[in-house]
Amino acid sequence: MPATCVAYNCRIRQKKGTGISFHRFPFDRPELLKEWLKNIKRTNWQPSPTSLICSAHFTPDCFEGRDPRYRPKLTKLRFNAVPTIFDFSDHIQKSLFAARMPSCAAIGCKNRKEKKVDQNARYPEKPARSIHRFPVSDPPLLRKWLQAMKRDFIPNRQSFLCSDHFTEADLDNTDEIVRLREGAVPSVFDFPPYLANCSVA
């Protein structure tokens, strides 16, 4: 049996050559374990010593630098690493019985696509926030976005960032809809403290 990741909605299995690593729970550190379980959000569930979580749930800064003496794909979690990246989208939808719009891909941002007009917004006559798709057809720019948002994931055509993560100078408001200026890179994020001082290579 290949190892399976315990995270909700994660279908990643242990396979050679995928670059995904699997990690055991920090049973020797109860405080850290509590953090992990809080984020994993599985009800009525306790990890066992054989439970594994895959590296897709950790931001890149959670890993030790790869040591050339070891096998090339071996990754080791840093001492205080906590998994933060989970996909609870259909879980939330089911529990609320509501068709929710997808949310912004920025860590910690709860904004969803919205149609409401807000008089206090930056551009009162337009929706309070605009959403901006990832520049998937421009890999160097995409890399800048991912570095800026400190999240190593593969955006799909549905993935977006809300306009809260861009400065006024990044946004072109002259048109009916708010657009990003060419080459704009998001720079406004509200990172949790453990991410505030680290950067993604």
Kindly list the residues in this chain that would bind Zn ion in the complex (CB under 5 A).
5, 7, 10, 12, 54, 56, 104, 106, 109, 111, 162, 164
Please say which residue, 9 or 67, places its beta carbon nearer to Zn ion.
Answer: 9
Give ∠ CA 44-45-47 in degrees, rounded to 5.
Answer: 160
- Closest CB 172 distance from Zn ion, rounded Å: 18
Please say which residue, 56 or 195, places its beta carbon nearer to Zn ion.
Answer: 56
Tell whether the torsion through CA atoms of 107, 108, 113 and 116 is positive or negative. negative
Dist. CA 155–CA 157, nearest whole Å = 7
- Closest CB 57 distance from Zn ion, rounded Å: 5
CB atoms within 10 A of CB 93: 12
Please say which residue, 94 or 110, places its beta carbon nearer to Zn ion.
Answer: 110
- Closest CB 83 distance from Zn ion, rounded Å: 8
Reduced to 3 states (helix: H, G, I; strand: E, B; else coil), residue 37 is helix
Structure tokens at 21: 């690593």
- Closest CB 69 distance from Zn ion, rounded Å: 27
Please say which residue, 69 or 157, places its beta carbon nearer to Zn ion.
Answer: 157
The candidate with the shortest Cα–Cα distance to 14, out of 55, 64, 42, is 55
